[in-house]
Structure 1
Amino acid sequence: MQKVSFNNRDWKVAADIHLPMDFDPNKKYAAIVCVHPGSSVKEQTAGRYAARMAQNGFVALAFDASFQGESGGEPRYLEDPATRVEDIRCAIDYLTTLEYVDEARIGLMGICAGGGYAANAALTERRVKAVATVVGTSASRAFGESDAISTLEAVGKQRTAQARGASAMIVPWTPASAKDAQEKGSAEFDMLGAIDYYRTPRGAYPTANNKLLFNSMSALVVFDAYHLAERYLTQPLLIIVGDQVGAFGSYRDGFTLFNKAASINKKIHVVKGASHYDLYDQPEATVEALKKLIPFFQKNL
């Protein structure tokens, strides 16, 4: 694995590029961009999947979203869907500059919100030849179903306050602990899964600091990752979901994307007994997912 960076506008995006074990710089390789979830960084689940892709002969790139992790950009902790999608395009730009990458064989996969961003990028990014999502979610459903109007009104008030000199509002992506979630009335199945992954040694990473710029919500609640997928998402498509359904909605979103996508070559695979967060890192669930992902990319790249 090598530390690299590429440009998005006038800042640097930090990335890890995972290379096959028998890597030969004189050969040409298929490449896969791996897109991390919201609140995550490249060293977490996206990096785990990227490493496994490299073990199976692909060049795999995982990166920190702009404004987050080790990547540049201001304001910090912004989760902006348009920029997240542009990060993906810039990652592909970078891959096309590498002599050992076959630019005709570039694939894209994303986890959770990264799956939604990956599918959305593929609508207009024709350099992407195959797309896979793992528990993919669309931001407008994930953030827009719970009192969205009140949220938007709160964002408006916050922006007004900042225009008058107040500091930016930074909020946590998740409660700090299961106990904290219970006290706040947010101890839902998927939220507890998120806490167990991000806020414990299981998946915690120093640069995944659980900070979200509150003003991000105005873009998140209206971003439909699958808008026009019935017209423009034509690439081979693989969707992986678990059947242990929680409020984050990746099971439902997976079938929504499957039914909507224009792809002729499309499949959805349900991992029995797996929750949203089992498919981040738990061996039994991720091995089953990889048994579908690896041949899918081998066949279509």
Structure 2
Amino acid sequence: MKSVTFKNRTWDVAADVRFPEGFDPAKKYPAIICAHPISSCKEQTSGSIYAERLTELGYVTLAFDASHQGASGGEPRYLEDPATRVEDFRCAIDYLVTQDYVDEDRIGVVGICGGGGYAANATMTDHRIKALGTVVAANYGRLMREGDLSANAAVATLEAIGKQRTAEARGAEPHITTYIPTSVEEREKAGITDVDMVNAVEYYTTPRGQSAGSPNKLRFSGLEAAVGFDAFHLAEVLLTQPLQVIVGDVPGAFGSYRDGFELFDRARSEKKDIFVVQGASHYDLYDQPKYVDQALAKLGTFFEENL
């Protein structure tokens, strides 16, 4: 593995490139970009699980930290900006096509959770991506708009963001909130029992998956764009590349089960498939071998046929 950086606008994006066994820099290899979930980092599931396993199958892989997050640059910090997240993919491809060992006609993408939604959006407008795989892909804009499921949740959120931006413009300190409760105890005290939230807290705040690059911090005043974002907008027009969608059949609050079917249904791709992993919840497909093995077997076959 080699740690590298590439530019997005004026800052450096941090990435880990993995090389298959017996790597020969004089040869050309297919490459797969692996994109992390919302609030995650390259040391978690996108890098240590999916990139690692795909490298074992013979691919050069690149797992990166989103701009403004993890080890990547970009100010302000802890920003979740959809346009920048999508641009990260294009910049990652710019990096790969300058490497002599990468076959530029055989570049694919795998995105997990919110990274899957961003990956789909990037694939629509960057056709250097030749094949797209998603694992429990989530449409972050849809999730932001639903809020607490009340009819006015999105509008109320936007009004609160606007007030916070005004305060910060007048000199107030940025409001840094969290994506999820900060501990199992905090979740239990709040009475949160949804399977996705239970597993999210377990994954991100315990030794199961926690990482320094994933601090559970989110800049509240930067969320306006996310509320108005639709990761799948124009998929029926622009998403023509081969598509493999993978979801678990245990639905939760993050909505990746229905988002996966929506992406599959809307994609214009002539060659597309959706695979439902029986008994798997959203976070089971991050790191639980029984379920991850099934996802990677499907992705292995998909990329072998399409890259």
Q: Percent identity?
A: 60
Q: Which residue of 2 aligns with 1:113?
A: 114
Q: 5+ residue gaps in structure 2?
A: 148-152
- What pairs up with 1:122-201 in 2 under 5 angstroms? 122-146=123-147, 147-201=153-207
SS in 1 for 2:162: helix
Q: Is the 8 A contact 1:139 1:222 kept in 2?
A: no
Distance in 2 (alpha carbons) for counterparts of 1:274 and 1:56: 23
In structure 2, give the amino acid aligned to 1:246: G
2:84 maps to which residue?
Answer: 83
Q: Secondary structure at the match of 1:60?
A: strand
- 3-state secondary structure, aligned to 2:130: strand
Q: Over residues 111-131 of structure 1, what are the superposed CA-to-partner deviations in whole Å (9 max), with x where a residue is unaligned?
A: 000000000001100100000
Distance (whole Å) between structure 2 residues aligned to residue 228 and residue 195 of structure 1: 33
Q: Is the 8 A contact 1:70 1:207 kept in 2?
A: yes
Q: Which amino acid aligns with 2:26?
A: N
Bigger mean CA offset, 31-40 vs 171-180 = 171-180
Shift of 1:179: 2.4
User: Are 1:214 and 2:220 an aligned pair?
Assistant: yes
Structure 1 residue runs without a partner (length 5+): none
User: The residue matched to 1:244 in structure 2 has which SS?
Assistant: coil
Secondary structure of the equivalent of 1:257?
helix
Once superposed, what is the RMSD of the aligned Cα atoms? 0.8
The Cα of 1:185 is off from its aligned counterpart by 4.1
- Equivalent residue, structure 1, for 2:150: none
**Paired residues, what number?**
301
Distance in 2 between residues matched to 1:28 and 1:50, nearest whole Å? 18
1:13 equivalent in structure 2: 13
Q: Which residue of 1 aligns with 2:290?
A: 284
Q: Supply the AA of the counterpart residue of 2:135.
A: V
Distance 2:195 2:163 in 1: 31
Alignment TM-score, normalising by the size of structure 2: 0.97
> Greater CA deviation, 146-155 or 110-119?
146-155
Task: Report how far residue 265 of structure 1 moved.
Answer: 0.2
Q: Which residue of structure 2 aligns with residue 58 of structure 1?
A: 59
Cα shift readout 1:105-162 (whole Å, capped 9, x = no counterpart) = 0001100000000000011001000001000011121111021111111100000100
Secondary structure in 1 aligned to 2:93? helix
Does structure 1 retain, via aligned residues, the 8 Å contact 2:43–2:213?
Answer: no
Alpha carbons 1:151, 1:217 under 8 Å: kept: no
In the TM superposition, 1:24-103 aligns within 5 A as 24-47=24-47, 48-103=49-104
* 2:236 is the alignment partner of 1:235: no
1: distance between equivalents of 2:3 and 2:169? Answer: 38
CA distance in 2, matches of 1:297, 1:222: 32
**Alpha-carbon distance in 1 for matches of 2:216, 2:130:** 33
Q: Could you tell me which amino acid in structure 2 is paired with residue 85 of structure 1?
A: V
Q: Distance in 2 between matches of 1:57 and 1:109?
A: 15
CA distance in 2, matches of 1:183, 1:153: 28
Superposed displacement of residue 183, structure 1: 2.5
